[in-house]
Amino acid sequence: MGILESGRVKVLKNNPFSGISLSGLKLSLDKVRLLAPVKPGKIVLVGLNYRKHARELKMKIPGEPIIFLKPPTAVIGPKANIVYPKEVRRLDYEAELAVVVKKEAKNISSPNCDKYILGYTCLNDVTARDLQKRDSQWTRAKSFDTFCPIGPWLETDLNPKNLRVRSYLNGVLKQDASTSDFIFSLPYLIRFVSSVMTLLPGDVISTGTPSGVGSMLPGDRIDVDIQGIGRLSNRVYSLSRK
């Protein structure tokens, strides 16, 4: 792991959860292969958290967050392939702002949750939409291997209250919204999730997707772009393709 500054990566001696300690080694960013910036124990996602997205779906504003989980085995990093499962008939992208938990958190009561956040990143909540509609719950539709691209890195100095969240399919803008449209604020989400389950260092909370979700096909490139963070790019790959 390392710290990115001015196009160079300062390599860390250890993981950032135990404090920042530099090894002295510096690498050029173009010589580094970016992996997912975190190996989470769990990934907690919010099912509906943008007002315009709720209106798009003709759904009532929920009274409390709708949360679900993805397994760690779904995580991939930048430029890794999203595998289109053979049994899936519709595969969707969902651009989201995600946060990485810095330290153990349970039943947080303070409105200031910054001390529990290590950083912010882009996340694509890849979803088998046909399976989601078929099942009574979302686990199968959200949990295939490669269904959770995260990256390209963590941004540690960021105000999440009014960030532009966009997705591009093959270069065409598909989603474009601001986190100011959140139904539930980020501090509220962290407090809510911590009231249900203990959050551990490296866990990820993803904050929901805006309106404009749509389908992907094998060969497509999907980009999640978030103001102040950067762009997460992945391609869709089918095992049945030559």
> In this structure, are 42 and 89 located in the same domain?
yes
Report yes or no: 95 and 127 within 8 Å, Cβ to Cβ.
Answer: no
Which CATH number is 166's domain given?
3.90.850.10
> In this structure, are 123 and 79 located in the same domain?
yes
> In this structure, are 60 and 15 located in the same domain?
no
Closest CA to 231 of 31, 9, 34: 34
> In this structure, are 202 and 154 located in the same domain?
yes
Closest CA to 207 of 193, 222, 223: 193
* 118 has a pLDDT exceeding 80: yes
> In this structure, are 28 and 63 located in the same domain?
no
- How many Cα atoms are found within 13 Å in the side-chain-facing hemisphere of 163? 26
> In this structure, are 181 and 80 located in the same domain?
yes
For residue 240, what pLDDT band results from cuts at 50, 70 and 90?
Answer: low
- Model pLDDT for residues 18-61, shown as the tens digit of each residue: 667 676 677 787 778 888 999 999 999 999 999 988 888 788 88
> In this structure, are 80 and 103 located in the same domain?
yes
pLDDT of 116 reads 95
- Model pLDDT for residues 70-94, shown as the tens digit of each residue: 999 999 999 999 999 999 999 999 9
> In this structure, are 19 and 110 located in the same domain?
no
Structural domain count of the chain: 2
> In this structure, are 16 and 93 located in the same domain?
no
> In this structure, are 81 and 143 located in the same domain?
yes
